[in-house]
With several copies, the nearest count.
Chain A
Amino acid sequence: MTKHTKPSSTFTTSELLAVMASRLMTNGQVVFAGIGVPLLAATLAQRLFAPQLTILFEGGTIGPFIVPGELPPSTNEQRCTRRSNMVLPITDVLLLLQRGYVDIGFMGGAQIDRFGNLNSSFIGDAENPKIRLPGTGGGNDISSLTNMIVAMKHEKRRFVADVDFITSPGWLKGGGTRKDSGLPQGGMWRVVTDLAIMGFDDETRQMKVLGLHHGVTREQVQENTGFELKFDGKIETTAPPRADELAVLRELDPRALYTA
């Protein structure tokens, strides 16, 4: 179904994140998507190659149709329900994750560590924080119950050895620690940044680079990371965003509210 068109060299960081993340989706999946890049990426996949992909919103919506130019500013607003298949209470849409109907949880991140744990609660010590962040929302639930994709900017202050506070659990301290803590399902699967695509070692659960974006070096990724990165045996170079991908994104967000 994908139309092969030429790569485009002019795009923003958010556009790059959305394109790279969209390519991780599979037709037929049920994806629990946050606002911004996750929603854009899932919708892009839907339009280009995954027409049977279903989006869920934390606010209580199953299978919405995103109207170009009317991206919802949160998952709790009526725009999220536009021409959707079903509207349901918050607790029940989150329980779909616990019951196992969801394939992928997809969100942004403020701070991540080498085991894929996310922090959106406190910068500094939780008892005396430098910054009190907004908190988990559904993040803890989603990352406790399903396989995760996180899209975020690749910066040293965001990629730290150990997060200050585990808001959304990744692989915790690596190895079997996640399972042992009572989280036998799901886990951090992919981290998509403006530099690379990362996964996690099957045994140690340490973050490792799987692919580099066009023109990015290993050194560059390591320099922007606050801990020693592993690199997979065979690192791929991702194909740059294509014109057709960018065209869809720009149709969806014509005023670049989420892709600037």
Chain B
Amino acid sequence: MGIEPLVKSYSALRHETLTRDRGLREKVMTLEEAAKLVHDGDHVAIGGCTVSRTPIAMVWALIRARKRDLVISRSITSTEGDLFFASEVSKHVITSWFTQGIVWGVSKVMRHHTENKLARFEEWSHMSIGLRYRAGAMGIPFMPSRTMLGSDVGKQVKDEIKVMDCPFTGEKIVLLPALNPDIALIHVQRCDAFGNAQLDGLQFMDIDMAMAANKVILTTERIVSNDQIRRTPDRTRIPFFTVDAVVEAPFGCAPHECYGLYEPFFTHLDHYAKISSQDPVKGPQQYLEEFYYGPKSWPDYLAKLGMDALLDASRRGRSVHND
């Protein structure tokens, strides 16, 4: 990525999109097959936010496939960021906030890797990351914005942003560079075999991310018929022609949450927080062995999380509809 320009030329962006097969075709495949669409060195954008609608099943598949040198971007990064660092799949995460979650304190794994310069946490403001995806989604090279000025957050990325005097008002305005990830991983409640996806509840930055990326892998709680999608077209949020792979992965965010279906697996997350705090090297390694490298399959991974935990998370998840 280092030698590529910060913002793709319009010709390069259009050429990449032109060469994608955007016809209405079925794209259903396994996690392992989808992982082959991700190449070492790719910029990979991760859907969801913190512990919500994280595409854990694809994270799991990429770590098992021993990918290397991925540049990761996400709105807010939680345990999956720890595991990308610990597995050496990525040494560079672009995000606004990086830690398991407020209630678990500062990530010792993030601290170990960044403070020892083993990996880079590139910090942008939350809205700036969102606007960078949005510019990418819109096919424009930059988005004007009014934050990161004055602060050291802006100074840290001063070579990547431009500050100009607005030609209309004379005011100072930031130009944020468009972000067009090589590939986006997004988990949804349902989509059809073509990739028409319907997302319930919180959308985070996923729609812009899907439109901005040069490839999209959808994991989904279930694959529904195209007829079902066509019954409520105003609930479709991601159109099929942005999508390159559809993988059915039930509980595909576990131990994170998926809106309306399951809340976070809190006991499991407490366990991860505990072992990774005790030893930020051996803790995550042990966790990776047990939950990532060890299981034979995704259902086997879920079995290791435990039936009790799964039912409890589901009961809490569905409760959002109790009214």
A residues neighboring B (CB under 8 Å): 27-30, 35-36, 51-54, 58-63, 65, 73-74, 76-91, 94-101, 103, 117, 121, 126, 129-141, 144-145, 165-169, 172, 177-178, 181-185, 257
Tell whether A30 pairs with B22 under 8 Å between CB atoms, given A59-B202, A60-B203: yes
Tell whether A29 pairs with B23 under 8 Å between CB atoms, given A74-B50, A85-B229, A89-B208: yes
Decide: B320 and A81 in contact? CB cutoff 8 A.
yes
Which residue from chain B places its CB closest to the CB of A164 in the assembled complex?
B152
Tell whether A78 pairs with B204 under 8 Å between CB atoms, given A73-B102, A94-B126, A100-B13: no
Which residue from chain A places its CB closest to the CB of B104 in the assembled complex?
A73
Distance from B51 Cβ to chain A, minimum over Cβ atoms (Å): 7
Which residue from chain B places its CB closest to the CB of A63 in the assembled complex?
B24
> Which of A90, A177, A184 has most chain B Cβ within 10 Å?
A90
**23 A-B interface contacts by CB (under 8 A):** A54-B23, A54-B241, A62-B233, A73-B102, A77-B257, A78-B259, A78-B320, A86-B233, A87-B236, A89-B130, A95-B137, A98-B145, A134-B98, A135-B98, A136-B97, A137-B76, A138-B125, A140-B147, A141-B125, A165-B152, A167-B153, A168-B151, A183-B150
Contact of A144 among B151, B259, B260 (CB under 8 A): B151
Distance from A172 Cβ to chain B, minimum over Cβ atoms (Å): 5
Secondary structure at the B interface, as helix, strand, loop or mixed, is mixed
Decide: B241 and A169 in contact? CB cutoff 8 A.
no
Decide: A90 and B115 in contact? CB cutoff 8 A.
no
Contact of B139 among A95, A121, A172, A182 (CB under 8 A): A95
Decide: B17 and A140 in contact? CB cutoff 8 A.
no
Decide: B196 and A135 in contact? CB cutoff 8 A.
no
Instruction: List residues of B (144-158) whose CB comes within 8 Å of A's CBs.
Output: 145-153, 156
Distance from B103 Cβ to chain A, minimum over Cβ atoms (Å): 5
Distance from B238 Cβ to chain A, minimum over Cβ atoms (Å): 8
Contacts of A91 on B, CB cut-off 8 Å? 127, 130-131, 133-134, 205, 208
Contacts of A29 on B, CB cut-off 8 Å? 22-23
